[in-house]
Structure 1
Amino acid sequence: MATPHVLVLPFPAQGHVIPLMELSHRLVEHGVKVTFVNTELNHSLILGALASKDGESNSIGGNGIDMVSIPDGLGHGEDRKDLSLLTQSFSEVMPGELEKLIGRISESTGGERELTWLIADANMAWAFPVARRLGLRVAAFNPSAAAMFATRTSIPEMIRDGVVDERGLPKRPGPFQLAPLMPAIDPSEISWNRAGDPEGQPAIFQFILRNNAAIHHAEAVVCNSVQELEPGAFALFPKVIPVGPLISGSAGAADGDNKPVGSFWAEDESCAAWLDAQAAGSVVYVAFGSFAVFGAAQLVELAEALALAGRPFLWVVRPDSVDSGPWVVEDLRRRAGPRGRVAGWCPQQRVLAHPATACFVSHCGWNSTMEAVTNGVPVLCWPYFADQFLNRSYVCDVWRTGLQAVAAPAGEESEAGRVVGREAIRGKVEELLGDAETKARALALRDVARRALGDGGSSRRNLARSVEGSHGRDN
């Protein structure tokens, strides 16, 4: 029986590349051939980060994953954080480029190990009819919470029930809940209403509707989540297959190695050595992901809050995460003093798994949320963008493994002058660190996630059955 050859296509953003790369490693472990497709810019970023780490740029290829790229239609210097611009461009350009790529791969293999499947991000559903037309089987991958997938695919019901209008905009105040055991969220904080400039919201909403319309092309929807963590969402959509958390080196990984995950920036490996020198359960870890941008005034308040807390802290400040220039990063390093460490990018999974890490001040991206869950780390939630507000609701209201850092969304800070003061932040950090019950719940949730990945666990079984299905056997 021929070995399956899978083409993997993420949405072109760091938080989407990482879980699909993790899934690709799992597939390779099951004997599947993987060709991973990034946009040209992201492809160069990943290879550059790998080269700076290893002195060579083929590390992922050495792990059984071929890396290829296609253009996204945007020119050099155009703002790829403008999601309405990005989605419009790649929706027009990438279908044709994907078709040409599939043709090139078919010609190069000469029928041997030819492509059999496309696994694409559910946010790239334009690719599904392209693949089907070319004879590939199709699976959708949901990189966010199952509750987020449920929310996006329940838009007709939300319009019918008066939660949002036909444009996706809030129609009534107050939180709503799709189903029991699911997180409640205010309509103003649904992902498409928190996706950047409000002027781009109509384009983002239409993009989601187009994805929803194409999802029927997929034979299966695979999700980076755990059945036991989101029972309400999976009850609402029982055909969605949870195979997470997709984390390197966690229970359930074949060899425990931290394989390359497609990072866009070189990881500061010295963070691990610095953590080794800290006492167990002492370090406040602060990281806001790959997208958030803060004003200098808010970063200074956060720096002073961390200093006032009197604990060692490790703070990830990306070079492009400050809207006031690179001088701010040097100022933050000065303010950190001998107790704190400011890094450009960290191996986050290793940081959260380290015994010195006490808590996580986070934007609540789904990858970060799952990494915190898998390591039993309580979270101080500071959402910035898109689905992060729903994830905060899981952490603070459903699982109760963390606290909310601020009342106002961080993304509004520069517009409305809502700078959260150092004393308020320090107080929340101390409250979280002093909450033994929250820590106990975080450890209990860790055990749930790890059991799902272990022998006989729900996620491990689901992945094995999915791979069997890719060989053509019933699953």
Structure 2
Amino acid sequence: MACPPHAIVIPYPAQGHVIPLMEVAHALADRGFNVTFVNTEFNHARVVAAMSNGAGSGLGRIRLVEVPDGMAPGEDRNQLVRLTILMAEFMAPRVEELILRSGEDGACPGKITCMVTDYNVGYWAVDIARRTGIRVGAVWPASAAVMVTLLSFPKLIEDNIIDAEDGSTVGEGTFQLSPDMPVMHSAHLAWNCIGDHDQQATLYRLLVDGVRAMEQCDFVICNSFQDAEPASFKLFPNVLPVGPILTGERSGKAVGHFWQPEDDECMSWLDTQPERSVVYVAFGSFTMFDRRQFEELALGLELSGRPFLWVVRPDIGHGAVHDYPEGFLDRVCGVGGQGKLVSWSPQQRVLAHPAVACFVSHCGWNSTMEGVRNSVPFLAWPYFADQFVNQVYISDVWKVGLKAVADDSGVITKEHIAGRVEELMGDAGMRERVEAMKKAAHQSIQEGGSSHGNFDAFAEAMKNAAPQEVSVQDGGASPGNFHTLADGMKA
């Protein structure tokens, strides 16, 4: 008896990428695939440790595999540019070996028949797929708008928006990719928001190479939905919207998280709070604060007078007890106090809780989609990379949140934080808009919805040995394979 189709899934080694790629793996398994999910050794250990019942809990057809990332023990893996460069040297040979040796014993899961790679992994994964003769699809786990900026490199250079060599800002720095797209700032492009100039230039060149590699992909799917970003999908209709992808929760269990879950104490605390009263505060896995900003955030939450649930990662930088404002923990976070501090939260469940009224967020795309799915308005506070473009959509395009604005010294003050929270709480129009987005998001992923249909078509095509066309579920467009998207890069 023949084994089912077998996909190797390769996430970029950061939590905001591992989580949605894990859900893609589950969605493929739901459609009959066996899956080999490849994490770096460092991240594999964290994912397994964070799973409540061990490595095999709830994985079914999914097999977790670890490969080296080339970084030394204890080295800072938030050095994304260095990590990306090392992946090509250390991960690539092991991934190719996994593919070539798969199915040798004749038992299931059998020979790997296709690859699903995070777009951000880069050219080497696509090269391996082509050398080993398997078809390859890429997952773009962020907004379609950010992907459109990458696919528009030639236009941005031709229009004198960015420098061709390093991607840095030239000219006035603002641009619009089409009349329907929002005005963007070249200083806020993803590669211009990471590290120093040399790191930005290196990342830019890696991204350009990545776009060229995507010409060789059979398909690209995106964690967004048609009604969220219609202008982006109009510009590049071959990108298949399949979102919003369920990120991190499967049958009540966290999947793909790096942080060890605590008990459900925060959920029990939410149960004691009035409906739509709680400010939820979470800044993802990368955001760091200096001491002053951390204290202003704490004091702003206190000044709001609202109950709050604040996720303070162990490594957030200045999040140790002695860096809280004097007396803050006693005044605000004691028994029966205004606030609740946790080092990790089951974010899907928190945002779905009726007590949550608004979301103070770094605007990471997973968090953005989770807030939209649960009709929670945002106080948008981006930190780096794509988050600034996401903020534009939250506050200016969808109008489901307000921007956190720094003062002349670069600090978002406690008074501003408290004031914005009060605005969010009282804005009925914003509540209506985010409810409408929630409805559209849920319709897209239900049976018969556009995103659901796109993923079905993608999965079916990935089962086939020969390339075939996939019809995008958006009301009429029927593009072919993804490689036609990047024709403009050939010039």
Structure 2 length-normalised TM: 0.89
Q: Distance in 2 between matches of 1:317 and 1:394?
A: 26
**Could you say if the C-alpha distance between residues 142 and 249 of structure 1 is closer, same or farther in structure 2, counting changes exceeding 3 Å?**
closer
Q: Distance in 2 between matches of 1:323 and 1:200?
A: 24
Answering whether residue 322 of structure 2 is matched by residue 321 of structure 1, we say no
**Could you say if the C-alpha distance between residues 7 and 170 of structure 1 is closer, same or farther in structure 2, counting changes exceeding 3 Å?**
same
Residue 479 (structure 2) aligns with: none
In structure 2, the gaps of 5 or more residues are 471-491
Pairing 1:83-102 to 2, within 5 Å after superposition: 83-102=80-99
- For the 8 Å contact 2:278–2:356, the answer to whether it is kept is yes
Deviates more, 1:337-346 or 1:111-120: 111-120
Q: Distance in 2 between matches of 1:271 and 1:179?
A: 44
Residue 20 (structure 1) aligns with: 21
Residue 405 (structure 2) aligns with: 406
Residue 183 (structure 1) aligns with: 182
Answering whether residue 279 of structure 2 is matched by residue 284 of structure 1, we say yes
Q: Distance in 1 between matches of 2:314 and 2:283?
A: 12
**Could you say if the C-alpha distance between residues 18 and 334 of structure 1 is closer, same or farther in structure 2, counting changes exceeding 3 Å?**
farther
Residue 159 (structure 1) aligns with: 157
Alpha-carbon distance, 1:201 to partner: 1.0
Answering whether residue 335 of structure 2 is matched by residue 336 of structure 1, we say no
Listed one character per residue, the Cα deviations across residues 194-248 of structure 1 (whole Å, up to 9, x for unaligned) are 0123331111111111111111121000111101111000011101001100116
Tell me which protein shows more helix as a share of its residues: 1
Alpha-carbon distance, 1:333 to partner: 4.0
Pairing 1:81-120 to 2, within 5 Å after superposition: 81-109=78-106, 113-120=110-117
In structure 1, the gaps of 5 or more residues are 251-255, 409-415
Alpha-carbon distance, 1:111 to partner: 7.8
Listed one character per residue, the Cα deviations across residues 298-346 of structure 1 (whole Å, up to 9, x for unaligned) are 1111111111111110000101112475643697644533110011011
**Could you say if the C-alpha distance between residues 343 and 213 of structure 1 is closer, same or farther in structure 2, counting changes exceeding 3 Å?**
same
Pairing 1:43-442 to 2, within 5 Å after superposition: 43-50=44-51, 53-54=52-53, 56-61=54-59, 63-109=60-106, 113-125=110-122, 126-166=124-164, 167-247=166-246, 257-268=251-262, 269-323=264-318, 325=320, 327-328=322-323, 333-334=329-330, 336-337=332-333, 338-407=337-406, 418-442=410-434
How many residue pairs match? The answer is 459
Structure 1 length-normalised TM: 0.92
Q: How big is the alpha-carbon RMSD for the aligned residues of Structure 1 and Structure 2?
A: 2.0
Listed one character per residue, the Cα deviations across residues 88-108 of structure 1 (whole Å, up to 9, x for unaligned) are 211222221211222343335
Alpha-carbon distance, 1:257 to partner: 2.1
| Secondary structure at 1:35 match in 2 | strand
Residue 456 (structure 2) aligns with: 464
Q: What percent identity do the matched residue pairs reach? A: 45
Deviates more, 1:350-359 or 1:175-184: 175-184
Residue 480 (structure 2) aligns with: none
- For the 8 Å contact 1:319–1:326, the answer to whether it is kept is no
Listed one character per residue, the Cα deviations across residues 432-462 of structure 1 (whole Å, up to 9, x for unaligned) are 1111111110001110101101121101111
**Could you say if the C-alpha distance between residues 209 and 248 of structure 1 is closer, same or farther in structure 2, counting changes exceeding 3 Å?**
closer
**Could you say if the C-alpha distance between residues 309 and 326 of structure 1 is closer, same or farther in structure 2, counting changes exceeding 3 Å?**
closer
Q: Distance in 1 between matches of 2:192 and 2:211?
A: 17
Listed one character per residue, the Cα deviations across residues 394-445 of structure 1 (whole Å, up to 9, x for unaligned) are 001110000001247xxxxxxx952222111111111111111111100011
**Could you say if the C-alpha distance between residues 283 and 257 of structure 1 is closer, same or farther in structure 2, counting changes exceeding 3 Å?**
same
**Could you say if the C-alpha distance between residues 423 and 223 of structure 1 is closer, same or farther in structure 2, counting changes exceeding 3 Å?**
same
- For the 8 Å contact 2:6–2:109, the answer to whether it is kept is no
Alpha-carbon distance, 1:60 to partner: 4.7
Q: Distance in 2 between matches of 1:283 and 1:326?
A: 23
- For the 8 Å contact 1:286–1:362, the answer to whether it is kept is yes
Residue 412 (structure 1) aligns with: none
**Could you say if the C-alpha distance between residues 108 and 157 of structure 1 is closer, same or farther in structure 2, counting changes exceeding 3 Å?**
farther
| Secondary structure at 1:106 match in 2 | coil
Q: Distance in 1 between matches of 2:411 and 2:330?
A: 21
Alpha-carbon distance, 1:74 to partner: 0.7
AA aligned to 2:269 is W
Listed one character per residue, the Cα deviations across residues 4-28 of structure 1 (whole Å, up to 9, x for unaligned) are 1110001000000111111111111
Alpha-carbon distance, 1:474 to partner: 6.2
- For the 8 Å contact 2:294–2:318, the answer to whether it is kept is no
